[in-house]
Amino acid sequence: MTNLFEDNLNSYEIIWKIPSHGKTLVNQQDNQIFKLSKNKENVLKIGIKDLAKYPFLTEAGEYLANTGLSLEQLSHPDWKPIVEKAYGRIVVASSGQIYGSDLESLDNDSELLSFIVAIILLKSAGIATLIRRFSLAEARRSERFLQQDLWVSRDKKNLELPLKIIQDLFAVKVSIDNDEFVIKVPDYLQRAVHFHEKEWKLVNRRVTNGFVYLSAHETVRLIRAELGEYINGKIQSVNIQSIPQGFKQRVEDLVILAKKFSDTTFVSSEYPPCVKHGIEVLEKGENLPHSGRFLLATYLLSKGQTVDQIAPLFKNAPDYNERTTKYQLEHISGSSGSGTKYQCPSCEKLRSESLCFATSDCDGIINPIQFGKKRKNK
Ligand code: SF4
């Protein structure tokens, strides 16, 4: 018996179970896919449309338990459209795009099931890069719904679900004050410290009585990285012991797809803190300001990396476009445009842009490309 997801949200608990063998996706004792908590106090009634928006919620287990579907049933040719939808969902995510859902016209059961099957395909293929890309893309997909739900519900005073998701998953209590959302200063600072745009600095926010005022978009933007990590953690916890026959072809296709991403940028532990930080931001799918991207490009070019080696680094950026990225990198490298090769910005300039994360290893250097040289020369 292996767990698909195992969660414990306050007093509410559902354990999603998937067997390695057998006729059904069962819990061996009670012959059901999911073991449901007896304590259902504080459980929100969530409809299938909400679960299609937020398929990572533990509450999705209750719905799926009622379907009585087994892993083997899902691998039967009758369910091929779901497997294809799941595969398509991964392919879209791997290209850095967000899988689109028209919840008004689409079959919401297939939205939820394709998410589950996508996880089984990903875990069967076992490729961390694909799992990370899928987690980020699904986080950004759900982020859109969360933002809509906060905004639309605001007038209807029906904020229970979006606020519960934010509170249960990320321990952030969000309240509403007229048209705005408010969170405690420490909750804000803990997350906003990772953003570099000036508008996220506390001095540029409206703060009253220890609370920060935010728009719906800003509220959800604050928890984007955590949402991606949450989904990634869920997927990592899945243990698939054998791949159902009907999934094998698509699992093999994923292995081939992943080869596209094997040509990744070389990341050295010898890079200065500002460069390491920029790479980490991009790896999390966070938005790195243009000045941060310029730093990475000029630094890595100065270290002898090629445009083709550097370009994959930007694939997780929320606004990634392959052609534009290569064009800009070629321009910075001097291989196109005016032919001018741009130099890495100085530490002073990076400090003024809040992109310096100096440690004692920086040792008074004035440009990141000097990082490490002083120590070697001592
Ligand atoms: S001191 Fe220079 S090299 Fe070090 S983190 Fe700051 S900008 Fe980067």
Q: Express each pLDDT in 139-154 by its tens digit.
A: 888 888 888 888 776 6
DSSP bridge partners of 183: 212
The answer, yes or no, to whether any atom of ligand 1 lies below 6 A from the CB of 83, is no
| Residue 73, helix vs strand vs coil | helix
Question: Which range, 195-204, 211-220, 227-236, is most confident?
Answer: 211-220
For the cut 50, the answer to whether the pLDDT of residue 312 exceeds it is yes
Task: Specify the ligand 1 atom closest to the Cα of 358.
Answer: 5
Among 56, 67, 151, smallest CA distance to 109 is for 67
For ligand 1, mutation pick of 268, 303, 347, 355 (most atoms within 8 Å of CB)? 347
- The answer to whether the CB of 219 falls within 8 A of the CB of 170 is no
Q: How far is the CA of 298 from the centre of ligand 1 (A)?
A: 14
Q: Please report the pLDDT score of residue 67 as a whole number.
A: 77
For the cut 50, the answer to whether the pLDDT of residue 37 exceeds it is no
Least confident of 276-285, 298-307, 342-351: 276-285
The answer, yes or no, to whether any atom of ligand 1 lies below 6 A from the CB of 273, is yes
Rounded CA separation 199/218 (Å): 10
For ligand 1, mutation pick of 268, 270, 274, 369 (most atoms within 8 Å of CB)? 274
Task: Specify the ligand 1 atom closest to the Cα of 367.
Answer: 2
CB atoms within 10 A of CB 249: 11
Rounded CA separation 179/279 (Å): 36
Task: Specify the ligand 1 atom closest to the Cα of 273.
Answer: 5
For the cut 50, the answer to whether the pLDDT of residue 9 exceeds it is no
Q: Please report the pLDDT score of residue 4 as a whole number.
A: 32
Q: Please report the pLDDT score of residue 153 as a whole number.
A: 64
Pairing of strands 2-6, 34-36: unpaired
Q: Please report the pLDDT score of residue 6 as a whole number.
A: 32
For the cut 70, the answer to whether the pLDDT of residue 12 exceeds it is no
Compare 89 and 309 and report the one with higher pLDDT.
Answer: 89
φ and ψ at 32, to 5 degrees? Answer: -135, 160
- Give the 3-state secondary structure of 294-334: HHHHHHHHHCCCCHHHHHHHHCCCCCCCHHHHHHHHHHHHC
Q: How far is the CA of 362 from the centre of ligand 1 (A)?
A: 6
Task: Specify the ligand 1 atom closest to the Cα of 350.
Answer: 7
Q: Please report the pLDDT score of residue 65 as a whole number.
A: 73
Q: Please report the pLDDT score of residue 269 as a whole number.
A: 64
Q: Please report the pLDDT score of residue 154 as a whole number.
A: 63
Q: How far is the CA of 297 from the centre of ligand 1 (A)?
A: 15
User: Sheet of 14-18: strands edge to edge?
Assistant: 2-6, 14-18, 34-36
Q: What is the mean pLDDT of the chain?
A: 78
Q: Please report the pLDDT score of residue 289 as a whole number.
A: 83
Q: Please report the pLDDT score of residue 2 as a whole number.
A: 27
Q: Please report the pLDDT score of residue 3 as a whole number.
A: 29
The answer, yes or no, to whether any atom of ligand 1 lies below 6 A from the CB of 344, is no
Running DSSP on this structure, what letter comes out for residue 159? -
